[in-house]
Amino acid sequence: MFLAIFNSCQIKDPLPEPTQTGANTFGCKIDGENWIPNGAKGFMAPGPVEGGFARDIIFKKGIVISVTARSKDGKAIHLFVFDSKVGKYLLNRDTTPYQGYLKPVSFASYHSGKGVAFATDSLHTGYIEITKADTTTGTVSGTFEFEAGPASNLATGTHKVTKGRFDVNYAGQ
């Protein structure tokens, strides 16, 4: 009987619900552990999640999507889609510096909080799926998963980021 009662209870996922309202939420699992950003430390520190649409002033390709989430322990995730439309974007190309900026490809990066960066590339892949992209309201929502490999000489190993979801509105930040 205990098993029947236990099975009938729903276990709530501690990650934020996947929404499309511009709620400025973000959550994922990093190496199997739940992670919800709580903002950076310091005077005038940025909030937990920022981003949305941005004008590409470097490569002049129009509007792009950029979302960054940070926590007080120094961890951060950055998602970049070199487009502004609903769709699934594969993260499977090398991201190399170009005149002080990253080469214009869709990518994701993870900063471990120890001054070490990891990113997607041709060997460490994933996706960002944009499920809502409304330039009128400023709302960008989606899901993501990726494996991040070393992006600096200090980094070793890889990190898996799974069950990612975000719902941002740059007008509400």
Average pLDDT, the chain: 84
Instruction: Taking residues 102-122, report their average pLDDT.
Output: 85
- What's the CA gap between 25 and 14, in Å, rounded? 12
For 103, list phi and psi in degrees, rounded to 5. -55, 140
* pLDDT at 55 (0 to 100): 74
Asked if 39 contacts 47 with a C-beta cutoff of 8 angstroms, the reply is yes
Question: Could you tell me which residue, 124 or 97, shows the higher pLDDT?
Answer: 124
Instruction: Taking residues 140-144, report their average pLDDT.
Output: 97
Question: Could you tell me which residue, 7 or 31, shows the higher pLDDT?
Answer: 31
Tokens of 104: 């214009």
- What's the CA gap between 173 and 159, in Å, rounded? 29
Instruction: Taking residues 9-30, report their average pLDDT.
Output: 86
pLDDT > 60? residue 172: no
Residues 49, 53, 59, 62, Cα dihedral to 10°: 170
- The vertex-130 CA angle with 103 and 160, nearest 5°, equals 70
